[in-house]
Amino acid sequence: MAGFTLSDNVPHTPFYHYDMRLLGETIDAAINHSSRFGYNLHYAVKANADKEILEFIAKKGLGADCVSGWEVDAALKCGFAPDVIVFAGVGKSDQEINFALDNDIFAFNCESLQELEVINELAKNKNKIAQIALRVNPNVHPDTHKYISTGQSESKFGIAYNEINKALESVEVLQNINLKGLHFHIGSQVMTMSFFEELALRAVEITKWFEDKGCKIEHLNMGGGLGVDYDNPMDNPITDFANYFAQFEKHLPKDKTVHFELGRSITAQCGELITRVLITKETATGSNYAIVDAGMTELIRPALYGANHKIINLSAKSDELKKPLYYIGGPICESSDVFAHEIEFPKTNRGDILTIKSAGAYGAVMSSNYNLRPRAKAIFDYK
Ligand code: LLP
């Protein structure tokens, strides 16, 4: 993992720095470990939709997983072919559905009984047959943050297991949709492989239910969710794709094409947020703060999920790597705008350059203009 290195002229901070070589190696690893089983990979555009990143990933041959009409549009413009684009989302507008229909995407991942009717109606207006997969909620509870856990029965995502019979009845009646596959997604940043094995077993069970009813299932889409190492990104820049795909290979039937929608595991580790220390200060209670020029506007994950991102002071001399404990805070007028709490950090001064690692997924793409701050620029490093 190369990462950003200091030179005399650091660009205007804060900015995202992308190690494109690592991105390439990560994609190669994912392709290498999945292609031995004939699996199809789609990149989850929501993780990082930067044009340069999307074009790079499209050239590597992955498909795209989109959750809005705008993502479908971006994917098409960046070189993904329509027949490798899947479109999920618990609420798709007519405008978005029409756009995807006009572009003949591979499949809509449908999340409710009502959506089946809406897509059928809109496809009928266009005299088309929409290709669909049913996103079935598998009721698997991964050990991840509750905000990014999607596969348990009480979540808003997917068609409830006890409604799959109704979904099948609709599919049989509605003339302008064609059921091709089943789709699942249990959640994100899942590190315990047994949850993926549990998902594979549920998928086998649910597929069998459909096939016993005489319904041919051509493809299984197992979603995304594979986590990355936020604690030690430099030691583990590429996540354990081999073990992940092996969980599915153990159980999934061999007569179907299998698809995955990987986001974080593809782009998280190639991106870092480079920021400058504006102020150092101490609170009345003795907490030692370094306030930096990046905030939750550039990277909201710590504020929103309490997520941990490794932070390194690139300006510090290595022999200074000692206590006191530091808080690294952003400049935004919100108490949650803190990147790290009580971390061991070198003595830090105004003007020091810090890097916040593992920010390539759900970083820039979730940024906002809150406090009227401009969006951070990005640097793509191919060295
Ligand atoms: N497929 C579906 C249907 C999804 O909802 C997601 C992510 C993915 C695939 C890709 O999951 P991944 O491989 O990236 O785990 N903003 C949160 C993550 C939200 C994930 C939403 N869905 C975060 O910063 O942790």
Tens of pLDDT, residues 154-190: 778 789 889 999 999 999 999 999 999 999 999 999 9
Ligand 1 mean position to 225 CA, how many Å?
6
CA dist 84 and 63 (Å) reads 5
Nearest ligand 1 atom to alpha carbon 264: 14
Residue 132 pairs with which residues in a beta bridge?
A: 108, 179
Enumerate the β-bridge partners of residue 257.
219
- Asked if the 269-381 domain carries CATH number 1.10.10.370, the reply is no
Q: List the one residue out of 63, 117, 74, 123 whose CA is nearest residue 262.
A: 63
- With 70 as the cut, is the pLDDT of residue 9 above it? yes
Q: Compute the distance from residue 224 Cα to the ligand 1 centre, in Å.
A: 7
pLDDT exceeds cutoff 60 at 288: yes
Q: How would residue 7 be classed by pLDDT, with cut points 50, 70 and 90?
A: confident
111 Cα–ligand 1 center, Å: 16
Ligand 1 nearest-atom number relative to CA 263 = 14
**Mean pLDDT in residue range 108-126:** 97
- If one residue of 42, 72, 143, 261 were mutated to test the ligand 1 pocket, choosing by the most ligand atoms within 8 A of its CB, it would be 261
Residue 88 alpha carbon, nearest atom of ligand 1: 3
Q: What is the pLDDT of residue 155?
A: 75
Region 252-281 average pLDDT: 97
Mean pLDDT of the chain: 94
Q: Whose CA is nearest to atom 8 of ligand 1?
A: 224
Instruction: Give, using CA atoms, the residue closest to atom 9 of ligand 1.
Output: 224
9 Cα: distance to centroid of ligand 1 (angstroms) = 36
Which pLDDT score is estimated for 85? 98
Mean pLDDT of 146-151: 68
Rounded mean pLDDT, 279-305: 96
d(C-alpha 288, C-alpha 328), whole Å: 9
Strand intervals (E) in 123-246 = 130-135, 177-183, 219-221
User: DSSP for 75-139?
Assistant: HHHTT--GGGEEE--S---HHHHHHHHHTT-SEEEE-SHHHHHHHHHHHHHTT--EEEEEEB---
Q: Give residue 263 CA to ligand 1 midpoint distance, Å.
A: 6
Residues lining ligand 1, Cβ inside 6 A = 44, 46-47, 65, 88, 148, 150, 185, 188-189, 223-226, 261-265, 301, 305, 362
Q: What is the mean pLDDT of residues 49-75?
A: 98
Q: What secondary structure does DSSP assign to 256-311, as a single string?
A: SEEEEEESHHHHGGGEEEEEEEEEEEE-TT--EEEEES--TTT--HHHHH-----E
CA of 260 to the centre of ligand 1 (A): 12
Question: Residues 18-49: pLDDT tens digits?
Answer: 999 999 999 999 999 999 999 999 999 999 99
What is the rounded average pLDDT of the residues 189-205?
96
Predicted pLDDT of residue 237:
98
Taking the centre of ligand 1 as the mean of its atom positions, its distance from the CA of residue 353, in whole angstroms, is: 30
Tens of pLDDT, residues 309-334: 999 999 997 656 556 799 999 999 99
pLDDT number for residue 317: 78
Q: Is the pLDDT of residue 339 over 60?
A: yes
Nearest CA to ligand 1 atom 24: 362
> Do residues 309 and 62 touch, judged by C-beta distance below 8 A?
no
Backbone angles phi, psi at 134, to 5 degrees: -90, 125
Enter the DSSP assignment of 350: T
Give the pLDDT band of residue 149 (cuts 50, 70, 90).
low
Residue boundaries of the structural domains of the chain: 20-268, 269-381
Ligand 1 atom closest to Cα of residue 300: 24
Pocket test for ligand 1, best of 108, 145, 264, 296 (most atoms within 8 A of CB): 264
Of ligand 1's atoms, which has the minimum distance to the CA of residue 265? 13
Nearest to 267 by CA among 88, 58, 22: 22
Q: What pLDDT was estimated at residue 124?
A: 98
Residue 345, classed as helix, strand or coil, is coil
Mean pLDDT over residues 62-88, rounded? 98
pTM, two decimals, is: 0.96
Could you name the CATH architecture of 20-268?
Answer: Alpha-Beta Barrel (3.20)
Atom of ligand 1 nearest to the CA of 225: 15
Render pLDDT for 212-265 as a digit per residue (tens, 0 to 9): 999 999 999 999 999 999 999 999 999 999 999 999 999 999 999 999 999 999
Please give the Cα distance from 244 to 103 (Å, whole number): 32
Handedness of CA 204, 207, 213, 214 (dihedral sign): negative
